[in-house]
Structure 1
Amino acid sequence: MRDDILSFVSPFLQEYIWQKDSFSLREWSVVDVKNEKKKKKVWHEAAAPHLYNKQFFGECMDDEWFVVFLLLKISTSVELKEKYNPVITVQDNDGEFLLIESAYQLPKWISKPKHAINRVFIYNGKLHLLPRCITVEDPTSFGATNQTSQFYDDSKSFPPIDHAIEYLLDNERSTLASEQVQISAFERTEKFQQNLLKMNTGEADTLQEQQFACVFVPYCVSELLHTTKLLPHAIQALSDLDFNPQLLKIDPKYKKIRKLCDHHPQYAQTKKWIRVRFSRWLYAQLKFFSLPHDKMTPQEEVEMKLKFTNAEIKGILLGRKLEFAFSLLYNNLGPEDPLRTHFNILEETPEEDQLVSVGRAELADDDSEVWLEVSPE
């Protein structure tokens, strides 16, 4: 089941840039539940086998809603429905965030979070909400002479997940949330459907959540940008440093950090212009990050403006930040860290065509940054 689902969502993931963790699925195990209980973060799951995903998205809310978009696609897949008939739940730190989105359209009885436990599901591409009071036949009594029923009242108890799913499958129509709730709950996923249409029509370069920019970087950084997906991790290293500026004063390794190219002299110190695709969130983080110990004097700024165009200056400054970001990431990774294997590509001797450089004028223009302008209104 896991492999089938990951294979199904794979085409949707090709153009997406995650802020932190990427979408994955794990098979449930007793050990996982025991560990969650120790952390006091139990999701009220039953012992029935299932798949789950635990993902950190930081401050990038797009990642959270893209996951919801994927779950909707999984729940509407004809092939997956025929084989597995998936029933899905999704929560974040705030709990049932789909209900939060549709709070004004919900019935009053579900105003408290405890009333929603094991009552909110995604099924067949729709949001389902189990009613306030439900009665479910006890599965343990099936086949017995006197079958028993279990009654659950929101004010006193919540149904176990297996009982809740049984009720949902037997009452699919009556548990369907209202149209107003559906629209409010999934409104933020609509842009991903529009992006999917653009991808299918060859317009992937116009996706709303991405930003193209030309940067001037060392060859080793260029190679990593073209062949790996380390960009979010590198910018995250910058972000961690930005949130902890005292590290520059406490930890001497940040003051004299060894540049990435120093580890790989075969790439020398030559640089090249390349066009990089960012998510808007990653681009904003990079653009507004201030490089430590790399402030230009007024005279240096004047000389740079006389020598380069504004577009070139922008690309040079972004390139410096990227070089620092990848160097910081490389120096922070332990020898056993899985991410370190991505840097192995730099151990190879570069081909001559890899070292061929083009001018900034030969690359396409950067995307507009008008979306970065925040209006007080």
Structure 2
Amino acid sequence: MGASLDDSTVYNHSSLYYNDMFNEWLAVLLFTLTRAFPDIAARAWDSDGEFLLIEAAFTLPRWLDPESAPNRVFIFRGELHILPPSLFPETPSLEAALAAVYDDSIDTRAADAIQAAIQRRIAGLPEKAAENLHTARVIVPAPVAKVLKEEPCLIARAVEGFYDRDIDTMKHAARMEKFLKGPGGEGVEMVIITVRMTRAMYAQLAQQNFQAPRGYPMPRREEGPEKWMEAELGMKIACGFEMMYQERRRQGEEDDSDEDNDFAEELGDKDVDDSFMESYSDALNKELSSTTLEKSFARAPRPETNNEGPSDDAATDAEMTPVDVDLNLVESILNSYSSQQGLPGPASNLLGLMGVKVPPDAKKS
């Protein structure tokens, strides 16, 4: 996005989205660009601030810190320039800062030690960047394949959406309304594509366990581990796109709608949210069923009935019998108190605050 602020200077501001730590590649691009076009000055920063200063942290002047850095650090003619407080005691405006950088009579070039530290960090780039890339074969819905064909860089946003998911964004993945359904609500074709991403992105996808949403077409494991891996990676990418898209859409709707419309949408989504929670609960129960966790809880006694007929099996009885929350709480506190063996501890402190004095354990006396 470019904007002309006066008759002689054009300012261009852009945002890049990525989720690995390869800021060095961008630095190389800006150093090369400003060297090739001497009339261009550039700034670059990320969520941590002026990342170029981080690379040269041990050589910076003591006065330069994240609070004093804004509008003081520029890349100009292939070198780093820093505007000192002797020139601008307070944070300068962008116009004043650029005027000083362009003024050849004012020495704003950073010290040689700072220049050398940054150049050492970016040495070998951009060629070295290829070593950080990974190409993966994945199975994704056709709409996802179309997006990646048009804008391959959006893989970073999809991975970010998947890796940073929470309980709210996972509701979108449970529905998959955008990337798994056609215009009429019908299913979409699954296609095989190759995706290029950084190794960090691939690790973020591959190393997280994630169950496919209900209704998502996954192959049978009998079809082989290779096909399963391709489908699983593609499923995670598709879910990341869905969560990213729906969150951006929701944020846009919130900005454009009033409170009444938001409340109406919330009521309209209640049934869908209930469906998600049911699906989420089923997934949790399925995962916990293979552990001994459920056997560690005391359950309320089943009421006696006079109904005749075949009885449910033991598994059904255990599933339908509610957990006695109060009994489990008391047992846990007493067990914790007993393990203190008369010494101070959290259980005795908690009981003391409630005014409860527990007699010594007769079994251990």
Scaled by the length of structure 1, what TM-score is found?
Answer: 0.51
Question: 2:12 is matched with which residue: 48, 52, 60?
Answer: 52
Question: 1:317 is matched with which residue: 211, 229, 232?
Answer: 232
Whether the 8 Å contact between 2:141 and 2:179 is mirrored in structure 1 is no
Q: State the alpha-carbon separation in 1 of the partners of residues 141 and 65 from structure 2.
A: 55
- Unaligned stretches of 5+ residues in structure 2: 253-365
- Alpha carbons of 1:183 and 1:173: their partners in 2 closer, same or farther (altered >3 Å)? farther
Once the two structures are TM-superposed, the CA of residue 75 in structure 1 deviates from its matched residue by 0.8
Once the two structures are TM-superposed, the CA of residue 257 in structure 1 deviates from its matched residue by 3.4
Q: State the alpha-carbon separation in 1 of the partners of residues 101 and 178 from structure 2.
A: 57
Question: Residue type of the partner of 1:121?
Answer: F
Once the two structures are TM-superposed, the CA of residue 55 in structure 1 deviates from its matched residue by 2.4
- Alpha carbons of 1:73 and 1:55: their partners in 2 closer, same or farther (altered >3 Å)? same
- Unaligned stretches of 5+ residues in structure 1: 1-24, 31-46, 135-151, 197-206, 338-377
Matches within 5 A, 1:1-377: 25-27=1-3, 49-55=9-15, 57=17, 59-62=19-22, 64-77=23-36, 80-81=37-38, 85-108=39-62, 110-113=63-66, 116=69, 118-131=71-84, 133-134=86-87, 154=89, 157=90, 161-171=94-104, 174-195=107-128, 207-229=130-152, 230-240=154-164, 242=165, 244-248=166-170, 251=171, 254-258=173-177, 260-263=179-182, 271-292=190-211, 304=221, 306-308=222-224, 310-328=225-243, 334=249
Q: State the alpha-carbon separation in 2 of the partners of residues 329 and 113 from structure 1.
A: 30
Q: In the TM superposition, what whole-angstrom CA distance separates every residue of 1:253-292 from its partner, at most 9, and x where no partner exists?
A: 5434347343168996654433222233432332234434
Q: State the alpha-carbon separation in 1 of the partners of residues 105 and 13 from structure 2.
A: 25
Question: Residue type of the partner of 1:75?
Answer: T
- Taking every aligned residue pair, what percent have the same amino acid on both sides? 23
Q: State the alpha-carbon separation in 2 of the partners of residues 114 and 257 from structure 1.
A: 43
Q: In the TM superposition, what whole-angstrom CA distance separates every residue of 1:163-204 from its partner, at most 9, and x where no partner exists?
A: 5444444447954323321122344433533258xxxxxxxx
Q: State how many pairs are aligned.
A: 248
> What secondary structure does 1:260 align onto?
coil
> What secondary structure does 2:231 align onto?
helix
> What secondary structure does 1:182 align onto?
helix
Q: Supply the RMSD in Å over aligned alpha carbons.
A: 4.3
Greater alpha carbon shift after TM alignment, 284-293 vs 123-132: 284-293
Q: State the alpha-carbon separation in 2 of the partners of residues 220 and 111 from structure 1.
A: 48
Scaled by the length of structure 2, what TM-score is found?
Answer: 0.53
Q: Which has the larger radius of gyration?
A: 2
Q: State the alpha-carbon separation in 2 of the partners of residues 95 and 333 from structure 1.
A: 24
Whether the 8 Å contact between 2:25 and 2:126 is mirrored in structure 1 is no
Once the two structures are TM-superposed, the CA of residue 76 in structure 1 deviates from its matched residue by 0.8
Whether the 8 Å contact between 1:98 and 1:185 is mirrored in structure 2 is yes
